[in-house]
Structure formats: C-alpha cells, structure tokens
Amino acid sequence: MMIIMSGMIGAGKSQLTKILSEHLGTEPFYEPVEDNPILPLFYADPDRYAFLLQIYFLNKRFASIKKAMAHDNNVLDRSIYEDSLFFHMNAEMGRATSQEVDVYDSLLDNMMEELPYAAHKKAPDLLIHIDVDYDTVIKHIKMRGRDYEQVDHDPKLKEYYENLIAHYEPWFKDYDASEKMVINGNRYDFVNNMDDRRCVLNAIDDKLLELGKISKEEYTSLQEKISQL
C-alpha cells in the first residue's frame, strides 16, 4: 500500500506523513528541503531559478516514488503527481520560457510513462490532500522559521502563496491517478491537538477500510491504537 500526500507549502504534509506512517507501521518518504541547494536561490531570484528548481524536484520525486513503489508499505509527503502544478504556475507568472515549459513537459511525460515499469506498481493507492487557507499557511510557515519562506522577509511571497492555493482546487478536482480524500487543515490541528489527530486518523482508517486496503481485523487494531493516543 502506498499513500501520497498533497497540499500547499506549510499545509502540514511532512507532519501528517510522520504521524500516519507511525500509526500504520509503514516507512515515511520525505521531500528533500533542508539539504536542497536550489530552494534558497529560487526564493531569492525566482525568475532565474524556477526551471532549475523544478528539474531538481522532478528528479528527486521520481527517484523517491520509484523507491517507495518498490516497498510494500509507505507514505510520501509529496509526489511527482503534484509536480507540474508548481512549474506551470511559475510559467504563468513569467518565470519560465516556452522552451523550458516544453522541455519540462516532455521530461515529465517520459518519466510518467516509465514509472510503472521502473517501480513495478501502476499508481498510488490513496492521495490524502490537506486543504488549508492563506492564514493557516502563514501560521505554519512562521512556526517552522525558514527565513526565505517568510512574507515578512519578502512581501512578494504573499501573491505567490495565494496564487498557489488557488491552483490547488482545480488540480485536486482533476487528479485521477488514484483514490483520494481531503483533510481540512484549517479545522484539524493534527500536530498539536490529540483530539484532532484522532479524528484525522479515524477518517483515514475509515477510507482505507472502505477501499479494501486494510482488513476489518487491521482496522480494529488501528482503532485500538488511536484510543491509546
């Protein structure tokens, strides 16, 4: 079983990946951020580094999902299925040339065609999308404290974040690579509030049971774990 997360920058994907992987007893796979040499450059000069950053992420996400698909059970905090959303939005903002868009689209198409053969699995089993608004995003970004992500550090990021949030609704609606569900990240603070965490884990367990990804016995065992939180 492979579960992938999606959601805005600061939505809480990495935290929920950790929580869910511990709950299910599976392996977590995280997007490379702290050791990403391109990301700070992009925030400093997005017009120059948008294409380079996306190629870097595309390469890392392809490698990550191949590795994850080769294992029996895992959770990814972001996946290759979300990749084009970021690059095409940046292209709309004038941060990529038409030639760069053509190169990126061709490369992504080739990777997606090869993925089932390289990973021996056709698609993820479930996408969990964390839906958040701008205020929640800014709250989470301030809490994790990366200077280059702060709107106070660069006021132009406000437009970037709002634009990205707006792009997620049509992206999620059109996503059809696997079954999917939504977690309301504005309502549920699954990181700091244990009642909220229980609600979110219950919802995910219910979905996995509905999809036949876990047995009734496994579901009962997972519910017992939740009751002990």
Active site residues: 77
207: left (phi over 0), alpha (psi -120 to 50) or beta: alpha
Q: In DSSP terms, which residues pair with 29 in a beta bridge?
A: 76
Q: Is 195 marked within a binding site? A: no
Q: Is 99 marked within a binding site? A: no
Q: Is 83 marked within a binding site? A: yes
Who contacts 25 (Cβ-Cβ below 8 Å, separation ≥6)? 73
Give strand ranges (E) for the chain: 2-7, 27-29, 74-76, 126-131, 179-184
Q: How far apart are CA 14 and CA 29, in angstroms?
A: 9
Burial class (CB in 10 A: 0-12, 13-18, 19+), 128: buried
Q: Is 31 marked within a binding site? A: yes
Q: Is 205 marked within a binding site? A: no
Could you give the count of Cα atoms lying within 13 Å of 116 in the half-sphere of its Cβ?
5
Q: In DSSP terms, which residues pair with 6 in a beta bridge?
A: 129
Phi, psi angles (nearest 5°) of residue 2? -125, 125
The end-to-end CA distance of the chain, in Å, is: 24
Q: Is 174 marked within a binding site? A: no
Q: Binding site residues, as ranges?
A: 31, 43, 54, 78, 83, 149
Q: Binding site residues for substrate, as ranges?
A: 31, 43, 54, 78, 83, 149
